[in-house]
Amino acid sequence: MLAEILACGTEIMMGEITDTNSPYMASHLPALGIEVRRVIALPDDQAVLTEAFRLGLQHSDIILATGGLGPTRDDLTREAIADALGETLYVDNALLEHQKQLWASFKIEMPPSNIKQAMLIPSAKSIPNPRGTAPGWWVEKGGKVIAVMPGVPNEFLNMWHTEVIPRLKALPHGQVILSRAIKTYGYSESGINDRLHDLFGKENPYLGIYAKQDGIHLRIIAKGPDQESAQRLITPVEAEIKRLVTEGIWGYDDQTPEERLGDILRKTSDTLATMESCTGGLLASTITDIAGSSDYYRGGFVTYTNEVKIAHGVDPSLIERHGVVSKEVAEAMAQAARRNLKADFGIGVTGVAGPSELEGHPPGTVHIGFAWEGGASSLFRTFRSRIQFDRQLVKRFAVTQALLEMRRIITEQRPTR
């Protein structure tokens, strides 16, 4: 089955918000046997929206849309679908009563504009939205399906998982599409391409290669009449990838660097501490995004100035001789964090987030130190944006590199302690 994804909202077109809903849906559809034909962002313009729905119904089996379900004059998704299908909007009494009860629970009289959120067309059914006032729409007509969900991510995610995915699964499918993502670290995109040259260029299974923040990703996509047939196509390709790049694979599918490092630390019963400068606490925050990270993460220090680094155990002579942006100071920070918090491993991050130079080092220069009892190592990286320098970009890349390298040290070059 073919699908189109429509992100409705002028705020997306103007760059005021980033559409995270569309890629999220696109990543889940292959497992449902649904192939994405197009992903389109659209303004709050009824004529433009109507034409998009009309064209989508001509070219695809399913249209998945987010946004434009609010009560204001610029929320026009309902009107556009009605126009595209040649149907008339009406106020559904059950939905209207639900709206009134909802506002009564807020102890606020329902604004007249919210009557709009109680509207349907004959071929539409409402989709419950327990996290907001805007119900979604599920439309079936002429063998085609339109599902519309709120644009607010919190509301969208709940409706997508609890309501829309079960309905999509119940649709008749001609084939199953499976995918498998294999995530690698320590290779360039061209290096991976050369190693796996003979696996590329096939249609089924298809192998794609993507440069990501956390390394080079490989995605195998296979189609078959059922899940078992599609999996039989994926299995030998995955086995060959593992044979050729085993030492560089750090994760699969939705796994993250912080999750994988946490898994390893739990398995080895090791603990970790951190000291950060240019990342400003982002490393500690990312590590603790994982539930139960207190099992292995002892804590961390944000030592943004030299004085604070020295106060937490970094030898001032190292800063004087090598500069604060150096591998020596990064390793000393890692050792100090490990020592102060009595952890098995320590990570230290120092660098230049920008936009100005520091000690003659350009923005994007980062040293990451790693320490354990009796030893230390460091990783030097320069992170650049091709278009415009971005502090957040440097911080995120530095954190990702620190997590992946720490995992590699523990699993591949485990120090003798």
Taking the C-alpha atoms of residue 390 and residue 400, their distance in angstroms, rounded to an integer, is: 16
pLDDT band at 32 (very low <50, low <70, confident <90, very high): confident
Say which amino acid occupies 417: R
Q: For residue 242, is pLDDT > 60?
A: yes
Tell me the average pLDDT across 263-287. 97
Q: For residue 386, is pLDDT > 60?
A: no
Sequential DSSP letters for 141-182: ETTEEEEEE-SSHHHHHHHIIIIIHHHHHTS--S-EEEEEEE
Question: Looking at residue 414, what is its pLDDT?
Answer: 60
Give CB contacts under 8 A, 24+ apart, made by 111-116. Answer: 111/71, 113/71, 113/72, 114/71, 115/91, 116/71, 116/75, 116/78
Pairing of β 136-141 and β 144-149: antiparallel
Say which amino acid occupies 395: K
Q: For residue 160, is pLDDT > 90?
A: yes
Q: Which residue has the tokens 């290669």?
A: 209
Q: Which helix (H) or strand (E) holds 233?
A: helix 227-245
Q: In whole angstroms, how far apart are CA 305 and each of 90, 220, 316?
A: 63, 46, 12
Tell me the average pLDDT across 328-347. 97
For 127-158, what is each residue's pLDDT tens digit?
999 999 999 999 999 999 999 999 999 999 99
Mean pLDDT rounded to a whole number for the chain: 92
Max Cα distance, the chain (Å)? 78
pLDDT band at 86 (very low <50, low <70, confident <90, very high): very high
Say which amino acid occupies 89: L
Q: Quick one: tokens of 88?
A: 């008339």
Domains in the chain, start-ordered, CATH in brackets?
A: 2-169 (3.40.980.10), 176-252 (3.30.70.2860), 257-412 (3.90.950.20)
Beta-carbon contacts of 215 under 8 Å, excluding residues fewer than 6 positions away, are 183, 184, 185, 186, 187, 248, 250, 404
| pTM metric for this prediction | 0.72
Question: Where does residue 130 fall: left (phi above 0), alpha (psi -120 to 50 degrees), or beta otherwise?
Answer: alpha
CB 409 within 8 Å of CB 415: yes
